[in-house]
Amino acid sequence: MNDLSLREEAGFVGVVRRIEATLNTVLKGIAVTLMWISASLAFISVVLRYLFGSSYGIVEELCRFSIVYAVLLYFGPLITRNAHLAMTIVTDLMPAWFHRYFDLVMTVLLALLLAVLLRAAWGWEAGLYAMNLDTMSGELKAWIPSAALPVGIALALLYTVFRVIYRIAGAPLNANEVSE
């Protein structure tokens, strides 16, 4: 969904919407760059392996880790866009006003879950850092690829707060929703 498809809003919701749009642009650029890095490194790895007979474990790890970072970083924007997979048989039957409050309760529960997961991910990350572990290639500290999880969860939590704000204000999540 294009961020420009929503009408310009004034007030606090408009400020939040502009912050979200700016963050979306930055995250989209980072995610696309990480995917290009992964594809480029995979190509380089194939060339090195089949033309020069050498292979480096760090290159393969960086391919995987850049994709993991791209996916986890872009998880947050999907929350406010309502672009996740959902079973909507029951919610489609709800009146619009009730659906808004139902979604608000579900989003608050999601925020609580993400807060608990962020705390656990941070503990995991701190443990990896304290143990000074390396990845399988032995050339990268294990906490570096693992940091994608707490960073991605923190961004998801931020976008969940954006969604709570939109739901409380009655602002649409995407162009398909009607503002109340």
Q: Backbone phi, then psi, for 134, in 5-degree steps?
A: -110, 160
149-167 confidence digits (pLDDT tens)? 999 999 999 999 999 999 8
- Which of 43-47, 51-55, 92-96 tops mean pLDDT? 43-47
Check residues 173 and 54 and name the one with the higher pLDDT.
Answer: 54
Flag whether pLDDT at 86 surpasses 80: no
Residue 6: band (very low, low, confident or very high) from pLDDT cuts 50, 70, 90: low
Q: Closest by alpha carbon to 107, among 163, 147, 63, 66?
A: 163
Specify the residue for token string 């292979």.
55
Give the pLDDT of residue 4: 47
CA dist., res. 96 & res. 33, Å (int): 39
Q: What token pair was written down for 128?
A: 């990896």
pLDDT of res. 92 = 80
Nearest-angstrom CA–CA distance, 24 and 16: 12
Which long-range CB contacts under 8 A does 149-154 form with residues at least 24 apart?
Answer: 149/72, 149/121, 149/124, 149/125, 150/118, 150/121, 150/122, 150/124, 150/125, 151/69, 151/72, 151/73, 152/69, 152/71, 152/72, 152/73, 152/75, 152/76, 153/72, 153/114, 153/117, 153/118, 153/121, 154/118
28: pLDDT strictly greater than 90:
yes
Q: Is the pLDDT of residue 42 over 60?
A: yes
Give dist(CA 6, CA 130) in Å, integer: 46
Q: Are 144 and 2 in contact (CB under 8 A)?
A: no
In this predicted structure, the answer to whether residue 177 has a pLDDT above a threshold of 70 is no
Query: CA–CA separation, 68 vs 72, rounded Å?
Result: 6
Mapping DSSP to helix (H, G, I), strand (E, B) and coil, where does residue 119 land?
helix
pTM higher than 0.85: no
